[in-house]
Amino acid sequence: MSETPQQPQEPQQPPQPPPGYGYPAGPGGPQDAAPPGRPGPGPYGYPQAGPPYPGYAHPGYQAPGYPGPGYPGPGYIPPGTFTGDPQAPYGYDVLGRPYSEKSKIVAGVLQLTLGSFGVGRFYMGDVGIGLAQLFTCGGLGIWALIDGIILLVSDDKTDADGRILRG
């Protein structure tokens, strides 16, 4: 068998992409065009600084002037802040009821520890119930214990002025 010598083949070059793709071809190409008033592109065709184009927000960011998800809008007053209202010195709860300067946690702990003397009810301003607990030794301690637990757990207990106890 006779062998014919084969010519060495040159390696094939991959096809070149059309201009405007990949690395910049040099100054003055289509990648260097920028609208008037906008920053020019960087070395790879991306803008380097400046605000985004109008109408296009960055992914994951809210547009300026609008609250983000989970944040309250303008005019929101968090519960428990002083609003300057003398009828509600500690603000309003989520249902619009004014908060008291008294705390339900303090009232509940006082009622659990010194409830047989009615101290938790005296703290809240309920003098009549406080005197009844004082004279009955807090219902032999049972009334004071149940009353202290109810004060700690409930959200609708009020002071002598009818304001909701802060929690």
Q: pLDDT tens for residues 83-110? A: 667 777 777 888 888 888 888 899 999 9
What is the pTM for the complete model shown?
Answer: 0.49
The span from the CA of 134 to the CA of 147, in Å, is 13
* Residues whose CB is less than 8 angstroms from the CB of residue 155 and which lie 6 or more positions away in sequence, other chains included: 164, 167
71 close to 62: Cβ distance less than 8 angstroms = no
Q: Convert the pLDDT of each residue in 15-65 to its tens digit.
A: 776 665 555 555 555 545 555 655 555 556 555 555 555 555 556 555 555
**Phi, psi angles (nearest 5°) of residue 158:** -120, 160
How buried is residue 89: exposed, middle or buried, by Cβ count under 10 Å (0-12/13-18/19+)?
middle
- Residue 137, pLDDT > 80, answer yes
Residue among 86, 85, 137 nearest 115 (CA): 137
Q: What is the pLDDT of residue 42?
A: 57
Buried b (16+ CB within 10 A) or exposed e, 110-130: bbbebbbbbbbbbbbbbeebb
